[in-house]
Amino acid sequence: MTEARGSAGPNGETHVRHAPGSPCWVSLMVHGMAATQEFYGALFGWEFVPGPRQLGPYVRALLDGHEVAGIGQLPPDRHLPVAWTPYLASDDVDLTAESVRLCGGTIGVGPVDADEAGRLVIGSDPSGAVFGVWQAAAHRGTAVFGVPGTPAWHELLTFEAAGVAKFYETVFGYEEESAASTDADRVTLRVGDRPVAAIHGVGTELPRDRGPHWITYFQVSDTDDAVTRLTDLGGHVLKPPHDTPYGRVTTVSDPEGARFSLLEPVSHSPSPSPSH
């Protein structure tokens, strides 16, 4: 991920300012808050503290005291997909929301303030994939990367990449890097010279029950061990572990059906695009 680093804090930690367009946070809305916290706490070693409650009960997941993700409570009368949602950084969330609308996307929530933490919107691109936008105030976003239990990569699975890529490039100012392979419908989105996310057109292979959607890769130290732990905790394997040039990857779901991937990266990985 791309971020600009600021000065060190009183305990030696570095405060992160995420460059506009960079994935800066990932959040999961669920029906069972307690069970979900127990699952991810056991899987990734997360601990939880209360978070902003503008949209209902919400907790922030901490790894060794650093914020990495959020989990919120779905209203009982809302039948929404249980899914991990990436938030993309913005210096002006209201302006970004207007750009989303002008470029064919929709805004479902916001813009709204989340206490003193920041300002957000939740929208969808023209294909229907849901994403968030975050304008940081007190809460900068994910504070640690590159260790097990942290978000490692985000990829949009959609019908075809080119048209949707133009939407994200126009709204967030990404630069595009097409796949080197001519048979892969894939676009890597870059902020400056760094890849931050990918759009993968999979056509009819897209799950019919899910439609276009973003998937988050979480880093683990051993993919196979993590799969064993996940299944013991009630999760499910959707795509068995397999080796890629970027590391060992598997696609899984939690007990409520939220899909995500586990990535055991290789040290020489040339790019964080593990499913390529």
Write out the DSSP string of 7-54. Answer: EE-TTS-EEEEEPTTSEEEEEEEES-HHHHHHHHHHHH--EEEE---T
Total length of the chain: 276
Residue 86 has pLDDT above 90, yes or no: yes
C-alpha–C-alpha distance, residues 274 and 226, integer Å: 17
pLDDT digits (tens, 9 = 90+) for 242-254: 998 889 999 999 9
pLDDT given for residue 9 in this prediction? 32
Cβ distance 227 to 246 under 8 Å? no
What mean pLDDT is reported for the chain?
86
pTM across the whole model: 0.88
Residue 206 has pLDDT above 70, yes or no: yes
pLDDT given for residue 184 in this prediction? 76
pLDDT range class, residue 182, cuts 50, 70, 90: low
Cβ distance 216 to 142 under 8 Å? no
Mean pLDDT of 43-71: 91
pLDDT digits (tens, 9 = 90+) for 100-127: 999 999 999 889 888 787 899 999 999 9
Cβ distance 85 to 25 under 8 Å? no
pLDDT given for residue 140 in this prediction? 80
